[in-house]
Structure 1
Amino acid sequence: MKKMNMGKFLVVTGLAISMLAGLAQAETVLTWTDGAPNRGTRVEATIWMGDELEKRTNGELKLEYHWAGALMKFKAATKGIGAGAADMGLIVAAYNPKLHAAYSIADLPMQYSDPWVGARSIYELVKNNADIQEEFHNLNLQYITNITTTQIELICKDKSLKSVEDIDGLKVRGISVYGKVFSDLGATPVSMSSADAYQGLSTGLIDCTQMYGYAIPAFKLQEVANEVTKLDWGALMGMAYVMNKDVYDNLPDDQKAILDQLGSDFIDHYAGKIIAGNKQAYEDLAAGIDGNNVNIVDFPEAEKVKLQEASAPYIEEWRKEAEQAGFDAGKMYDQYQDYLRKYNDERLDKGYPWNR
């Protein structure tokens, strides 16, 4: 009897070990690298994406997050993820413009500044343009989805802007092409991080800083600046969530399909959250936060047109660099414009997807 019990024990134990081994094989933990700290609306949306990935794959795929550059800094992410130092993460085209000659189209000032319209359009462009797909694949990256900073605005200390002429002579912290255009319009460019803008405004080192609605109270800029001019001037969108292509290619087809669908779903989820964040931020700023009152004005439509006209040389500069890299820049730009018009018309006709 004892021998029989021992035999059963061994059989049951063997089955248990086999089942545990099968479960271990079924669960894949993907390392996520992110240069930003673990806070804010974008991070919350990223965690939502991880939760959804785990739920939709029945726990077979999970994300393990590494925030604030703990695994690698933003500048290293493009090559690092491609080399397999992380499975997934956020890359920023502006940190490696020569590696992203095609994808950098996402950072160009466009006449459509709505966050959902922009993010949905650049997502569709990347998914459907062979040149941008090739650029990502040559970096051994699989594009998953996109984020956006939302509309470019200016917050200034004692400076209310009513025309592009009012920019002349101001000390402005600007970023990317937008900073170059401010300089062309007569501003003195001052290089500093968004985290340093508070001190820059407080000390008078800068008069204004390029910023985004939700980020103004996040950085407490209302404590040192009192004028917001809503330029609603394009957005920085050269920021992609990507996966190492070897890792992606080795996933089962059903997991690839789930990941691809989640990338599309993320656009709507993130845009909805960030638009709500902007709206709440401006309501709070207008009402006054801790006694700090901020005047919020809309830049006149005619002046917005002048900003677009001033951006034209940099669009042409991008076009030449993309063509030199071997891409059909004209086709890419026209395709992008088509998507922007399509989704802007859809927004005006049907509203946002989350409100339908």
Structure 2
Amino acid sequence: MTFTIRGWLGTAAFIMAGTVAAQAQTTLKWAHVYEASEPFHTESVWAAEEIAKRTEGRYKIDVFPASQLGKETDINQGLKLGTVDIIISGASYAARDYPRIGISYYPYIFRDPSHLLAYAKSDVFKQLAQGYEEATGNHITAMTYYGTRHTTANKDIKACADMQGLKMRVPDVPAYLAMPRACGANTTPIAFAEVYLALQNGTVEAQENPLTAIDAKKFYEVQSHISLTGHIVDALNTIVSKNVWSQLSDEDKQIFTEVMLEAAERGTRIVEEREAALVEDFRSRGLTVTEPDRADFERAVLDKVPLSDFGYEQADYDAIRALQ
């Protein structure tokens, strides 16, 4: 077989072009602990695909749901170790590196989801996110409404005193402990992926999560009562690692930010729609759903678990409470 010089050069150029194109694509890992059916996953997948389109394939992002790359503590650590590049995680974990940002988990700081979303766009959040970035190098691009956290158990909880002595699973994060401990519950940290089994075998008698998580994780199968304590209006941050963010061009930073903000807005709408329907849905499944006096729980928290216990600042609390 005979090759001409021109033909050889053309073939070589084609191979080199293909190699350069392959090298130009960066593969990133996006991790979270939520189920593949939840909007935190479906909208992350949408965002990954959208970023690939808008960057003309320069970034390929693989999304790993349901703790595939580790529990929430692990994936937060993974940002530092380089084992993950993007995560969705609560500010309570970010607070391990920058305590002030965890103030959004102080019980009853938010009146409702709209108050939380106002916070997400506020100067006070921008300042706290900047403080976290200065402490870690990681960049928060967006915030998604996770849901309002309520309490499930195998008994009715109408008042704070009804939780006295209750064995209750709470995430291993100080701010989550505030309401249960103020009401006298015996709290136990159990990984999110293991909560169903712990409830089923009686390791714990109760837990707290948004209605959407109670549904997705099927906690209603092993709990008979839901008390709408509404103690935390919860959110998840989309966080890009220091290593990735520092290497993005300004143009790519804008693309990542715009897409992730849009994904957060899409996810928030889905959560709000699902929450609106779930109370009656749970009742139709035979669960007892109680609406307790939330002021009773709030008084207990303010009296027994002050802001200073968590390293939060009164000025941040006051600024958030003042948001409309």
Report the TM range for the smaller structure's normalisation: 0.7 to 0.9
Q: Does 1:297 align with 2:290?
A: yes
Instruction: Flag the structure with higher strand content.
Output: 2
Is contact 1:174-1:180 (8 Å) kept? no
Aligned to 1:230: 228
Q: CA deviation at 1:147?
A: 3.8
Aligned to 1:257: 254
SS at match of 1:272: helix
Tell me which amino acid in the other structure corresponds to 2:28. L
Q: Distance in 2 between matches of 1:52 and 1:115?
A: 27
Tell me which amino acid in the other structure corresponds to 1:295. T
Q: 1:1-356 alignment to 2 at 5 Å?
A: 6-36=4-34, 38-95=36-93, 97-112=95-110, 114-115=112-113, 117-119=115-117, 121-122=119-120, 124=122, 128-129=126-127, 131-157=128-154, 159-175=155-171, 176-202=174-200, 206-237=204-235, 239-288=236-285, 293-299=286-292, 303-312=293-302, 314-317=305-308, 321-322=311-312, 329-338=313-322, 341-342=323-324
Q: CA deviation at 1:42?
A: 1.9
Is contact 2:32-2:72 (8 Å) kept? yes
Runs of 4+ off more than 6 Å = none
Per-residue deviation, residues 114-144 of structure 1 (Å, max 9, x unmatched):
4464256246457621x54133233121222
The alignment-based identity, stated in percent, is 19
Unaligned runs of 5+ in 1: 323-328, 343-356
Q: CA deviation at 1:81?
A: 1.4
Q: Distance in 1 between matches of 2:300 and 2:40?
A: 30
Q: Distance in 1 between matches of 2:317 and 2:125?
A: 14
Q: CA deviation at 1:51?
A: 1.7
Tell me which amino acid in the other structure corresponds to 2:295. V
Query: What RMSD in Å do the two structures reach over aligned CA positions?
Result: 3.2
Q: Distance in 1 between matches of 2:114 and 2:267?
A: 9
Per-residue deviation, residues 72-125 of structure 1 (Å, max 9, x unmatched):
543233343134333222345545744131221232223435446425624645
Unaligned runs of 5+ in 2: none
Q: CA deviation at 1:271?
A: 0.8
Q: Distance in 1 between matches of 2:222 and 2:102?
A: 33
Is contact 1:36-1:68 (8 Å) kept? yes
Is contact 1:108-1:236 (8 Å) kept? no
Greater shift, 187-196 or 8-17, is seen at 187-196
Is contact 1:153-1:211 (8 Å) kept? yes
Larger radius of gyration: 1
Is contact 2:183-2:297 (8 Å) kept? no
Q: Distance in 1 between matches of 2:116 and 2:159?
A: 25
Q: Distance in 2 between matches of 1:311 and 1:212?
A: 19
Tell me which amino acid in the other structure corresponds to 2:278. A
Aligned length, in residue pairs: 321
Distance verdict in 2 for CA 1:127–1:16, change over 3 Å: farther
TM-score (norm 2): 0.82
Tell me which amino acid in the other structure corresponds to 1:336. I
Q: CA deviation at 1:256?
A: 0.9
TM-score (norm 1): 0.76
Q: Distance in 2 between matches of 1:250 and 1:73?
A: 27
Q: Distance in 2 between matches of 1:200 and 1:81?
A: 29
SS at match of 2:60: strand
